[in-house]
Amino acid sequence: MTKQVQGTQSFARSIGLLQHICDRQTPPDLQELLTECEFTRPTLYRLLAGLEAEGLIHQSAGRRYKPGARLISLARKALVQSDIRELARDALEQLRDQTGETIHLAVPSGDGLVYIDKIESQETVRMASTIGTSVPLHSSGVGKAFLAALDKTDLLNRLEHMPMPAITRFTTTSIDGLLQHVSACQAEGYIFDDQENEEGIVCFGAAITEGPARPVAAISVSVPMFRLADDRSRYVTPLLHCVRELSLQMSSTI
């Protein structure tokens, strides 16, 4: 008979409760957790208190439970350690070869995204961007694609406090305008950035997700205006195939 490690049952219950809170579409309150998780009230109090003490959950002003700062930090570290850049490299190179254009991979950083990889076009005229460059959410192809992959609550929370300066004369600087772009992306699966982040450059962007409403990165195909093909499917079809495949891989590794 295998000896049970002391404390494993309590640990399993805590992890199960944490998973339930994270998986829920809206943050649960105490009564909802009592109904859905079938713990006794004292057991639920004890598990919640333990998770909250460790910073893995926190209680909002509306007395609803949400993932805590420590959990978010651990998740980000796990994502980095899973090395999305290495995971995506072959797919990004293939996407560059299929489109003939420069490919960017960006991940969340602060209030925007940051480029963590760039596969250069083999054409003579190339993008001036570099790895490590921060890009805004409201003006870039990767940024708007990332926004479009969020659930409605997260999206509106971000927009409420997000500055929207004009990066070029084409930049969308209103929430209503940005929401129109986001809606189009949600319907079509990709965003078309028409010189909003850099004049003379258009981008096709789409998000990599690890589940519904859980974007972890975004990819863009950047094209100089003078080289833009009339048939957008030249860029869109391989881009959507690329993010679908990478999303499946992310979901299976994280």
CA distance 120 to 96: 8
Task: State mean pLDDT over 162-184.
Answer: 95
pLDDT the model gives residue 126: 63
User: Between vectors from CA 86 to CA 195 and to CA 96, what angle results, nearest 5°?
Assistant: 40
**In the structure encoding, which two tokens stand for residue 201, read together?**
């450059």
48-68 pLDDT tens trace: 999 999 999 999 888 999 998
pLDDT of residue 133: 85
Q: What is the pTM of this model?
A: 0.67
Q: Give pLDDT, residue 5.
A: 54
* Reported confidence tier of residue 183, pLDDT bands at 50, 70, 90: very high
pLDDT grade, residue 1 (50/70/90)? very low
pLDDT class for 110, splitting at 50, 70, 90? confident
Residue 2 predicted with pLDDT over 70:
no
